[in-house]
Amino acid sequence: MDHIRVFQEQVEKLKVLQVDTAEYSCLKSIVLFTSDAMGLSDVAHVESIQEKSQCALEEYVRNQYPNQPNRFGRLLLRLPSLRIVSSPVIEQLFFVRLVGKTPIETLLRDMLLSVQEPHSLWIQTVGQSGCSGPYGPVPSP
């Protein structure tokens, strides 16, 4: 239960900052695309995505909140505290009812591997009969 309390405290701190949806999306990307994950085959690519997300957040904050020069730093300083909360706690809080006992890592890996082909090609073929998406057949419109 202590982990849940820590998580709730971190969420409250983010609420005080009034994080908007664009900032939230960038923060998620920064956290998810970390080169600290074990078993990565292309660390440089993951670091590149994380850096681009960080730069996008910095530029967005600078343009949207010009009167808050410390906002970008304050947002980034929330991330280490959020990482204290373990993956199993997050899974238990948010995903158990959605995905059952399937590990989130497995779902993320499957989703990322399924988009190795150009996404636009998949979109173009979605409407075709017999098309198959990453999790099975896609119904015809």
Same domain for 106 and 53, yes or no, is no
Top pLDDT among 91 and 22 is at 22
pLDDT for 122 beyond 90:
no
Same domain for 25 and 67, yes or no, is yes
Q: Report which of 135, 137, 86, 87 is spatially closest to residue 115, judged by C-alpha positions.
A: 135
Domain count, the chain: 2
Same domain for 76 and 114, yes or no, is no
pLDDT for 26 beyond 70:
yes
Same domain for 1 and 36, yes or no, is yes
Same domain for 85 and 106, yes or no, is no
Task: Specify the pTM.
Answer: 0.59
Report which DSSP code applies to 18: T
Top pLDDT among 21 and 7 is at 21
Task: Quote the domain boundaries for residue 131.
Answer: 97-141
- Could you please report the per-residue DSSP string of 57-112? HHHHHHHH-TT-TTHHHHHHHHHHHHHTS-HHHHHHHHTHHHHTTS-HHHHHHHHH
Same domain for 68 and 2, yes or no, is yes
- Percent of the chain, pLDDT > 90? 24
What torsion do the CA atoms of 15, 68, 73, 104 make, to the nearest 10 degrees? 40
Same domain for 61 and 126, yes or no, is no
